[in-house]
């Protein structure tokens, strides 16, 4: 690796898992990998001894994934493990850019990280979360002990271990999301109450007041994925080329079916219900150049058992909500924000709108909603992620 200088270390020698490290040496890495899985990068690492994320800082240790230029192995960023947020048990990841002057400011990224054993970690995140596209990169894991009494490892070059000894090359390809697989209950109001995750959802677009692109730009800046339930008849009117829909998928967002014309679906005949759903599926597939949704949301929340069954037969889960700030009534930015944060909970599905009327209040409330919920330890996910649905790529 190199960043304003260079350092190298041999691969750590074998060690028995479960053996505590010497207090004067960094943790030893037994195995590590970085692979692409659909849109996500998946980082796995196993140490030679047990560890806990929340004790790393206390023990003056760090465990990081170095992101390096493919051309010369120069370090351009580091992704490090830190302890869990309040009311959570899972580790978090912070990313900092690296230059010749050293590491820049770090920030928590949107990532799913978990302990797979007492000595192992697995984390997944989008390349965009670390400022990367789908190209080539090199990587190494660095385990460091920050202490004056640190004794260099037997085959190391300082108070750190590098794995692998030479930067590994990862060639990423641009994934194309083509669908998701409906599984689990056909009618959903929320996700698991045992995970610190929350899904922001938006209905009634695409729209122009404000433009849908304004919502996408804000979510991109905040590194927050969302789920957009779209009205089929509006796609050709407000996103004629499908650029917005394709941008959503590229951002890691999810698109759902919100019917063709936004009727009270429970009052329609089965044939009309089927037409409302399938016309919108076709419009989304055409706009995205191949993505078939597996989620739909009934306008006004109007459902019946037969409608839920019909949707499931078409490969669509019926997605409701359990946090509703009634932003459609334009209650004010403060009221929208206060309602969302007061009612947020583990596994919540939040209903808001990005169409069907002027949605400037909703847009203005979002930044503070995101900051507050993130500070409370929530991880933002799409509905498909919240439910653990399998995504299909080509």
**pLDDT per residue as tens digits for the range 149-165:** 786 654 445 699 999 99
Q: Are residue 164 and residue 182 in the same domain, yes or no?
A: no
261 and 157 within one domain: no
**Bigger pLDDT: 109 or 21?**
109
pLDDT mean over 180-200 = 97
- 357 and 383 together in one domain: yes
For residue 3, pLDDT beyond 60: no
How does strand 197-205 pair with strand 379-381? parallel
200 plus 278 within the same structural domain: yes
Quick one: pLDDT band at residue 87, thresholds 50, 70, 90? Answer: confident
Residues 72 and 153 in one domain: yes
173 catalytic residue (yes or no): no
Catalytic residue among 190, 223, 258, 353: 353
At residue 21, the pLDDT reads 53
pLDDT at 15 (0 to 100): 36
* pLDDT, tens digit (0-9, with 9 covering 90-100), for 269-283: 999 999 999 999 999
Asked if 98 and 246 sit in the same domain, the reply is no
* Residue-averaged pLDDT of the chain: 92
Token digits of residue 41: 């990068």
- Position 158 scores a pLDDT of 65
How many whole angstroms separate alpha carbon 332 and alpha carbon 274? 37
Q: Is 100 exposed, middle or buried (0-12, 13-18, 19+ CB in 10 A)?
A: exposed
Give the residue with greater pLDDT, 288 vs 6. Answer: 288
Residues in the chain: 394
Whether 39 shows a pLDDT value over 50: the answer reads yes
Query: Is the domain of 199 the same as that of 331?
Result: yes
Q: What are phi and psi of 244, to 5 degrees?
A: -70, -45
Q: How far apart are CA 118 and CA 53, in angstroms?
A: 10
Residues 204, 166 share a domain:
no
Q: Are residues 156 and 213 in the same domain?
A: no
Which one is catalytic: 203, 204, 251, 253? 203
% the chain with pLDDT above 70 = 92
First-last CA distance in the chain: 33
Q: What is the mean pLDDT of residues 188-209?
A: 97
pLDDT tens profile 282-297: 999 999 999 999 999 9
Q: Is the pLDDT of residue 175 over 70?
A: yes
Residue 113 lies in a domain: yes
CB contact at 8 A, 229 and 245? no
What's the rounded mean pLDDT across residues 202-211? 98
Domains of the chain: total: 2
**Boundary-marking domain end, from 130, 152, 171:** 171
Count Cβ atoms below 10 Å from residue 291 Cβ, excluding itself: 23
Domain termination residue (choose one: 121, 142, 171): 171
Range of the domain at 158: 29-171
353 is catalytic: yes
């Amino acid at each position: 690796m190199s960043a304003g200088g260079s350092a190298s270390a041999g691969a750590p020698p074998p060690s028995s898992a479960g053996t505590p490290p010497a207090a004067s040496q960094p943790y030893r890495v037994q195995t590590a990998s970085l692979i692409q899985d659909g849109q996500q990068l998946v980082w796995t690492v196993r140490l030679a001894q047990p560890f806990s994320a929340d004790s790393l800082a206390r023990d003056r240790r760090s465990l990081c994934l170095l992101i390096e230029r493919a051309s010369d192995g120069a370090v351009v960023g580091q992704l490090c493990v830190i302890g869990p947020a309040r009311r959570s048990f899972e580790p978090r990841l912070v990313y900092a850019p690296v230059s010749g002057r050293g590491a820049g400011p770090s920030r928590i990224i949107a990532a799913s990280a978990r302990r797979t054993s007492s000595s192992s970690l697995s984390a997944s995140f989008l390349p965009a979360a670390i400022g990367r596209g789908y190209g080539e990169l090199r990587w190494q894991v660095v385990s460091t002990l920050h202490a004056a009494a640190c004794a260099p490892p037997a085959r190391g070059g300082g108070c750190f271990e590098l794995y692998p000894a030479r930067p590994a090359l990862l060639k990423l390809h641009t994934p194309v999301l083509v669908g998701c697989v409906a599984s689990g209950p056909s009618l959903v109001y929320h996700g698991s109450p045992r995970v610190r995750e929350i899904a922001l959802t938006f209905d009634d677009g695409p729209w122009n007041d404000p433009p849908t692109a304004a919502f996408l730009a804000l979510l991109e800046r905040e590194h927050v994925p969302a789920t957009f339930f779209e009205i089929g008849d509006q796609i050709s009117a407000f996103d004629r080329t499908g650029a917005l829909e394709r941008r959503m998928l590229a951002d890691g967002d999810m698109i759902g079916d919100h019917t063709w014309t936004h009727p009270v679906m429970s009052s329609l005949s089965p044939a009309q219900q089927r037409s409302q759903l399938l016309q919108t599926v076709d419009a989304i597939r055409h706009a995205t150049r191949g993505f078939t949704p597996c989620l739909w949301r009934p306008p006004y929340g109007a459902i019946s058992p037969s409608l839920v069954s019909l949707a499931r037969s078409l490969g669509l889960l019926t997605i409701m909500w359990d946090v509703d700030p009634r932003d459609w009534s334009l209650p004010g930015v403060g009221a929208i924000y206060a309602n969302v944060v007061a009612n947020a909970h583990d596994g919540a599905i939040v209903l808001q709108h990005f169409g069907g009327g002027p949605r400037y209040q909703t847009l203005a409330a979002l930044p503070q909603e995101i900051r507050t919920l993130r500070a409370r330890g929530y991880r933002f996910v799409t509905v498909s992620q919240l439910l653990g649905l399998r995504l299909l790529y080509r």
